[in-house]
Chain A
Amino acid sequence: MTKNLHIHSVTEITAYIKGTLEEDVRLQDVLIKGEISDYRPPTKHLYFSLKDSGAILPCVMFEDKMQNLKFDLKNGLEVIARGSIGVYSPRGRYQLYVTELFPMGRGLLYLAYEKLKKELMEKGYFDPARKTPLPFLPQRIGIVTSPKGAAIKDILKVLDERFPNLDITISPCRVQGEEAPEEIARAIENLNQYGKIDVIIVGRGGGSIEDLFAFNDKLVADAIYNSRIPIISAVGHEIDQTIADLVADERAPTPSAAAQQVVPRKDELLLRLSEKKGKLKSLIMRKKEIMEKEIVKFQKLLQARHPRKSVLELKQRIDEYRRRTCDYLKALIQHKRNFFLRLTQDFVQHSPHYQLSLSKEKMKTTTEKLKQSILRDIEKKNNTLTHLTNKLKALSPYSVLKRGYSICLSLPELKIITEHSQVKKGDKVKIRLYKGHLHSQIYKIEEK
């Protein structure tokens, strides 16, 4: 019988309840407002309840989520809690697992901010691709802020420091209060309508999230989004980013910072320009120097290859050769001459003439010697001869003649006639006397 009865264990049914609640999307990531009760300072996790006039909801906030808690909890405080409904089985109770907790007023603003942010993100308001880069040198600056606030003074001061001659147009608006969002939006639109603006600074000085709510307004977001002129947001604030920051082309943490970001330092630009000018001049001077060096180099090269140069060189070389040849020839001649001289000497010494002259000399002396000897001999002989002649003369018939004898010679035979028979009567004869001759004719012959 009991077979047909469907009986659950407590665990089973609790698991079912837990499943049912935790699978319900409407119970996940919900915002719940209520008054804090049963609060006790946390030991580890935070346990409290949210209640209102009709109900009470146990809450638990785990340690890791508590780090984001930015305010002190106390019983009776109106808060907004974000979290999911779950079931704690051991105690058999459903509770809120809190992820975030906000005090009521600020929490609402924050949640509104979150909601708008999500919506605008989906619409592409924050898309980096549609943001316009700020101009490098904006000289016509539009400022959307309160003309009575601290922000305008800060901005003007910084702008004036960085770039003394700027054309600044203030588009006034209130930056807080109910009217602020609409006024900010209109101020942006007015500058766009005016048109002669390079960049717009939209901002105000620091404040709490409540103070800045105007910059988290859809109207402002739209105005920034629709501006043709690039916008830099400058909202001093606590929370990470206002909607205005997210939509703007650029964002700065404070109005002063925005002024710095918007305008370059004029003195730096002038310095850069004068540096560039100097650089250009030095570069062109360097170029000039390089070219001049090139020219000199080519000049040298050209001179080195100039035909006149090679002619001169050739001339010089020829001179050199000539000189060297001359020297060589001179040396050669000298050498030959020496050789020849030696040869000549040798030759002369060995020549027949030399020998001849030597012989001649020899002969001459010999001849002389001979002559002398001959002469001496002759003299001797002469002496002898004279002696002999004298002797002879004494013996000569002619000397007899002197003493009166004569010699009769036949004619023509001139034979000495010694006998009468050799002549006949009438023969002519020649009679030689001591001095002269007598031609005679025989007229008588006597035999006795």
Chain B
Amino acid sequence: MNFEEAMQKLEKITQDLEEGNLPLEESLKKFEEGMRLVNFCEKKLEEVEKRIKILIKEEDKLRLESWQPVEEKEENKSDNEV
């Protein structure tokens, strides 16, 4: 299950609960599942660590290098690279 699916499920669960016709057992089950999904989604948002790297291919081998934006003002003025 990905984030979007979890959100959709969450939406559905909220709707089901909003209609309010569910038996108590079912409601509680939905509620618990909803809370699980919320937690899942929250976790999912924090899952990835901030990282910027550059993908370089040398001699047919891919290699990642960490990358920092080049702060060269001249670069912006240059017509060569936009």
Q: Which residues of A contact B (CB under 8 A)?
A: 135-137, 139-140, 142, 146-153, 156, 164-172, 174-177, 186-187, 190-191, 193-194, 204-207, 211, 266, 269-270, 272-273, 276-277, 279-280, 283-284, 286-287, 290-291
Contact = CB atoms under 8 A, between A and B. Distances in A.
Q: Which of A137, A153, A194, A266 has the most B CB atoms < 10 Å from its CB?
A: A137
Given A169-B53, A283-B14, 20 more contacts: A147-B70, A151-B82, A165-B48, A166-B48, A170-B52, A170-B67, A171-B54, A186-B57, A191-B55, A194-B55, A204-B82, A205-B82, A207-B82, A269-B41, A276-B14, A276-B34, A280-B17, A283-B31, A287-B20, A287-B24
Given A166-B48, A170-B54, A273-B42, A283 B4 contact: no
A166 B50 contact: yes
6 contacts: A135-B4, A139-B48, A142-B55, A148-B75, A167-B50, A170-B67
Given A150-B76, A279-B14, A283-B17, A291 B24 contact: yes
A280 B4 contact: no
B55 A276 contact: no
A284 B51 contact: no
B43 to A, nearest CB: 10
Contacts of A269: 41, 45
Interface string B31-61: 1001100100110111111111111110000
A201 to B, nearest CB: 13
A67 to B, nearest CB: 30
B48 A280 contact: no
Given A137-B2, A137-B44, A169-B64, A283 B18 contact: yes
A284 B17 contact: yes
A165 B49 contact: yes
A30 B31 CA distance: 69
Given A156-B69, A190-B55, A207-B82, A140 B48 contact: yes
Given A165-B46, A277-B38, A291-B24, A137 B82 contact: no
Interface in B1-28: 2-4, 7, 10, 13-14, 17-18, 20, 22, 24, 27-28
Interface of B: 2-4, 7, 10, 13-14, 17-18, 20, 22, 24, 27-28, 31, 34-35, 38, 41-42, 44-57, 62, 64, 67, 69-70, 72, 75-76, 80-82
Contact of A284 (B27, B41, B46, B80): B27
B57 to A, nearest CB: 5
A194 B22 CA distance: 48
Given A194-B62, A279-B14, A167 B34 contact: no
Contacts of A266: 45
A139 B70 contact: no
B82 A175 contact: yes
Contacts of B69: 152-153, 156
A347 B13 CA distance: 95
Given A166-B48, A167-B48, A276-B14, A136 B3 contact: yes
A139 B4 CA distance: 13
A269 B13 CA distance: 17
A172 B47 contact: no
B13 A137 contact: no
Contact of B55 (A165, A170, A177, A280): A170
A276 B10 contact: yes
B55 A169 contact: yes
A239 B39 CA distance: 46
Nearest to B24: A291
In the complex, the 8 A-B pairs of residues with the closest C-beta atoms, listed nearest first: A136-B4, A137-B3, A139-B48, A205-B82, A283-B17, A165-B50, A284-B31, A280-B34
Nearest to A236: B82
A187 B55 CA distance: 9
Contacts of B45: 137, 266, 269-270, 273
Nearest to B33: A280
Nearest to A204: B82
Contacts of A205: 82
Contacts of A152: 69
Contact of A149 (B17, B55, B82): B82
A367 B36 CA distance: 126
A33 B27 CA distance: 75
